[in-house]
Amino acid sequence: MQHTPSQAQSANTAPSARAPRHNARFGRILATAGVLGAGALAWQVFNAPLPAEAQLAPAPAEGGVQTPYGRAPLTFADIVDKVKGAVVSISVTNGEKTASKSPGGRRFGGLPDLPDDHPLKDFFKNLPKEFQGPQQPQRPQLAQGSGFVISEDGYVVTNNHVVDGASKIEVSFDDQEKLEAELVGTDARTDLALIKIKGAKKSFQHVNFTKRPARVGDWVIAVGNPFGLGGTVTAGIVSALTRDIGSGPYDFLQVDAAVNRGNSGGPTFNLDGEVIGVNTAIFSPSGGNVGIAFAVPAKTAMAVIEQLKNQGKVSRGWLGVKIQNVDDDTAASLGLDKANGALVSEITPGGPAEKSGLEARDVVLAVDGVKIDDSRDLARKIAAYAPDTNVDVKVWRNAAEKMVKVKLGTFPNSAE
């Protein structure tokens, strides 16, 4: 039987007319089921246990959590509360220099302040001293820095350049208490100094140096007295290790915590509240913080502070030579397989090296069996020995190895 077009059209459109009501009910049922299913899935997701390697431990007292990649701080506040009582601001007064008189008892006003290109500049500069007169008297100068207490009886670590030339030293605590201190000893090569709070009859809160080596990427907290503001805390990470900043043979830590003028001598802490370094210098074309600061590592500081406390100075071994690195061309000319060791360029007359038979152009390869990488490595290793120590020095001389026994001297002070 054949259908007419009108019958076919009515047959096809009849179900479509009823479909919206049926589909709407079915859609509401599916929507309700979807919401219930999503809620059940969310309950399972948020209540299911995490894999063992991803579970987080409860926050420890220092304000951090343990993660698969190490500890991470939720806040630094707990660490700051733990250590801030041991950090001090240091105020230093340099003594007044009095003006002297000329031999005839007449007081002169000093040389005129002329620009370098002034035609009379050389005339006044070359006058005899009796006509020049004394320089203008200097008023007492004030300087500020930071430090931290390392013992209950009030020993405080700071920088040498903070207390250099001080006639009066005063430390201020976070609670505004101010106490006078006296200088125990300084070490210019590491820029460290030790002072002692005077006449205190109480126990001081103190902090300890860490015995664990720092790693690049470790969190650090710097506490100090920038611009005389006192009690300032900044945070960052260890940016680099073993930095050479042109200050002797010792390596420095580089950190990116904000450090400014006045932070000198202050501590840099790890997440355990231990001192990992003593803030010493900044790299700053502008004079302010640019995110590059340098600190004396805890290991170096501990060795220096121990000697300052016991002896009031630091005694280091001395070889009595001038040295330089060995480059590839020098190594080839001397017959060395590779560029390593320290080349002796000059022997100090009357020094330990001359008395022991070391010669210029010797290449120091090892000391007491420990390999020498370069000239800074040799300087550090020799300085670590006590004076009058006998050491075996392996050198490369005339295309062959030779062993020389050397009795070390005492490293001269800066004036010598």
**Marked catalytic residue, from 89, 91, 146, 161:** 161
Q: Alpha-carbon distance 301 to 250, whole Å?
A: 11
Q: Alpha-carbon distance 245 to 281, whole Å?
A: 9
CA torsion through residues 115, 118, 120, 122, sign: positive
DSSP of 20-66, one letter per residue? HHHHHHHHHHHHHHHHHHHHHHHHHHHHSPPPGGGPPPPP-TTSEEE
* In contact, 292 and 330? CB cutoff 8 Å: no
Q: Is 264 designated active site?
A: yes
Both structure tokens of 187: 């070490």
For the chain, give the number of residues: 416
**Marked catalytic residue, from 91, 146, 264, 375:** 264
* In contact, 339 and 324? CB cutoff 8 Å: no
**Marked catalytic residue, from 191, 218, 251, 362:** 191
Taking Cα atoms as reference points, which of 156, 136, 185 lies closest to residue 91?
156
Beta bridge partners of 275: 209, 269
The catalytic site residues sit at 161, 191, 264
